[in-house]
């Protein structure tokens, strides 16, 4: 199925299966968000823990198993059931648990493909000290490899409200993935009947004109919306601001009381430190997804009369 057809089917906005990748320590942080998202779309949860090889094999012994790997996996799954069953069972949700040996990002990729999941939820693993400003290597690798949207839960992420998603913020660079990522943000806002804010931040290192022109940027935000908006259930606002990208995105998220932040994944998993900082520092879940990188297309050159601020 093409990514366009997936959008039209609504599977990315309302997944029927969600993979939750856990190191077990982060379960208290992940479960409330996993439960809320599963309830919103009536999705099944597949909760998976990867057991790294170094916990099973001892290199000095010539890679001879130090423990029974089958027993370790079963013991881990039993522990997961103890931690999970009551909390999820009370919600009436369908779920499965799995403990599998291997590299965490490989395990998540394999399980996502095998289950046909349309979303992955993972912790950023930045909890204390300097790690609060660093996106965990597992989360980073999952973001860069995933074929489906990845929802990251950072150390500052607030517990989900009981009212569901009411406000979606989508920062966009107006780059090659702008149309696809905006479509996902709009689908999400439509599904939740939430307010959508499209945000573009003009930074000191933005490309030369016309990209430094707020009017130009504001108009191009409009081109991300469907021409016929009569069917929209979501209220859409467009914002163009200037300043530091991370600071402005986080400030806008607070201002609009965002329940969900949507990023294109090559922004979140690429080399941009601002995107990493947003993922780790956000007070709401951040949903990133893979988009095909297309050559930059020329933008329209007509202008509107005003820019909303």
Domain holding 249, by residue range, is 167-289
Residues 131 and 237 in one domain: no
Higher pLDDT, 13 or 229: 13
What confidence tens digit (pLDDT) does each residue in 99-146 have?
999 999 999 999 999 999 999 999 987 444 434 334 577 888 888 888
pLDDT bucket at 153, cuts 50 / 70 / 90: very high
Residues 18 and 145 in one domain: yes
Closest CA to 2 of 138, 159, 180, 171: 180
Residues 133 and 66 in one domain: yes
Residues 149 and 212 in one domain: no
Residues 145 and 224 in one domain: no
Residues 74 and 116 in one domain: yes
Q: How many domains does the chain have?
A: 2
Residues 141 and 172 in one domain: no
Higher pLDDT, 87 or 132: 87
Tokens of 284: 């709401």
* Mean per-residue pLDDT over the chain, rounded: 80
DSSP state, 90? T
Residues 177 and 48 in one domain: no
The radius of gyration computed from the CA coordinates of the chain, to the nearest angstrom, equals 20
Q: CATH number of the domain that 217 lies in?
A: 3.40.50.620
Residues 111 and 193 in one domain: no
Closest CA to 266 of 143, 84, 164, 171: 143
Residues 147 and 181 in one domain: no
Which pLDDT belongs to residue 208? 64
Point out which residues pair with 262 in neighbouring strands: 287
Closest CA to 161 of 249, 257, 252: 257
Residues 174 and 278 in one domain: yes
Residues 100 and 140 in one domain: yes
pLDDT bucket at 174, cuts 50 / 70 / 90: confident
**Would 10 be classed as within a structural domain?**
yes
What confidence tens digit (pLDDT) does each residue in 263-295 have?
875 554 444 566 778 888 999 999 987 765 443
Share of residues in the chain with pLDDT > 90 (%): 43
């Amino acid at each position: 199925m093409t990514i366009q057809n997936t959008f039209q089917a609504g599977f990315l906005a309302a997944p029927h299966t969600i993979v939750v990748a856990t190191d077990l320590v982060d379960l208290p942080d992940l479960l409330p968000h996993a439960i809320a998202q599963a309830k919103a779309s009536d999705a099944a949860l597949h909760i998976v823990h990867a057991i790294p090889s170094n916990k099973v094999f001892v290199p000095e012994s010539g890679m001879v198993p130090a423990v029974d790997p089958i027993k370790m996996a079963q013991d881990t799954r039993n522990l997961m059931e103890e931690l999970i069953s009551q909390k999820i069972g009370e919600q009436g949700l369908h779920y499965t648990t799995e403990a599998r040996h291997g590299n965490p990002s490989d395990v998540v990729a394999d399980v996502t493909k095998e289950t046909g999941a349309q979303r992955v939820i993972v912790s950023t693993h930045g909890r204390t000290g300097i790690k609060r400003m660093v996106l965990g290597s597992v989360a980073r690798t999952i973001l860069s490899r995933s074929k489906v949207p990845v929802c990251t839960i950072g150390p500052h992420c607030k517990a989900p409200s009981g009212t569901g998603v009411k406000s979606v913020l989508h920062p966009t660079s107006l780059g090659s993935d702008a149309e696809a990522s905006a479509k996902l943000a709009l689908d999400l806002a439509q599904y939740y009947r939430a307010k959508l804010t499209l945000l573009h931040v003009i930074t000191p290192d933005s490309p030369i004109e016309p990209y430094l022109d707020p009017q130009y940027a504001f108009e191009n935000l409009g081109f991300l919306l469907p021409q016929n908006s009569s069917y929209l259930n979501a209220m859409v606002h467009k914002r163009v601001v200037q300043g530091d990208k991370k600071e402005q995105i986080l400030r806008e998220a607070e201002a609009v009381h965002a329940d969900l932040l949507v990023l294109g994944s090559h922004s979140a998993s690429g080399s941009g430190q601002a995107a990493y900082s947003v993922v780790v520092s956000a007070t709401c879940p951040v949903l990133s997804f893979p988009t095909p990188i297309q050559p930059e297309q020329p933008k329209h050159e007509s202008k509107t009369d005003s820019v909303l601020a």
